[in-house]
Amino acid sequence: MAAPDTIRNLVSNRKAGFEYHLEDRYEAGIELRGSEVKSLRAGNANLQEAWVRLEKGSAWLVGCHISHYDKANRNNHEPLAERRLLLNAQEIAKLKKAITIKGKTIVPVRIYLKGSWVKIEIAIAVGKKLHDKRATQKDRDAKREVREFR
């Protein structure tokens, strides 16, 4: 069994850092079925089109694709099902207040194991303009060139 403070990344949303300015980050649990956990441990998930919706005092992960687990039989899960995020009421209230500002949304950044628990990191995000994306790409290319010359 893994130590309680051991963190192992399962899936990351690299596109989020390019498309958005990520502000406040939160850690949440995810309500999952057994076949979903096994599929995540195998790395069979995609967060590229995922986002978080707040509804009736709950947070829901929408658009996250977790592939079928091969060894699960008819009890397999739905790949694009909405999954409830486990946050306390104060965190949900902060998120709700933050996204009332125009242009802000909540995006998942990564799914990881913390000990034996599956956790998700979500962030309040503001969409980048085209010139911001170009600047990000320019910085990334400059850092890559510096690394190549070392």
Between the CA of residue 39 and those of 10, 29, 49, 103, 111, what are the distances in Å? 10, 16, 18, 33, 12
- Rounded to an integer, the average pLDDT of 134-138 is 86
- 127's enclosing H/E stretch is strand 117-127
CA dihedral (105, 22, 109, 138) in degrees, to 10, reads 120
What domains are defined for the chain? 7-149 (2.40.280.10)
pLDDT at 79: 75
Give the pTM.
Answer: 0.80
pLDDT of residue 10: 87
Q: Answer whether 123's CB lies under 8 Å from 110's CB.
A: no
pLDDT single digits (tens) 78-120 = 778 888 999 999 999 999 988 888 888 899 999 998 888 889 9
Paired tokens of 64: 């996250």
Identify the helix (H) or strand (E) that includes residue 124. strand 117-127
pLDDT of residue 27: 93
Q: Does the pLDDT value for residue 2 go beyond 80?
A: no
pLDDT tens per residue, range 25-56: 999 999 887 878 888 888 888 888 888 999 88
Pairing of strands 83-86, 58-62: antiparallel
- pLDDT, residue 1, reads 54
Q: What pLDDT sits at residue 121?
A: 93
Q: In angstroms, rounded to a whole number, what is the distance separating the alpha carbons of residues 98 and 84?
A: 19
Secondary structure of residue 91 in the 3-state scheme = helix
Q: Which of 41, 46, 38, 31 is nearest to 72 (CA)?
A: 38
Average pLDDT of the chain, as a whole number? 85
- The pair of structure tokens assigned to 65 is 């694709």
How many beta carbons lie within 10 A of that of residue 95, not counting itself?
22
pLDDT tens digits, residue range 50-75? 889 998 889 999 988 888 777 777 77
* Cβ–Cβ under 8 Å, residues 122 and 129: no
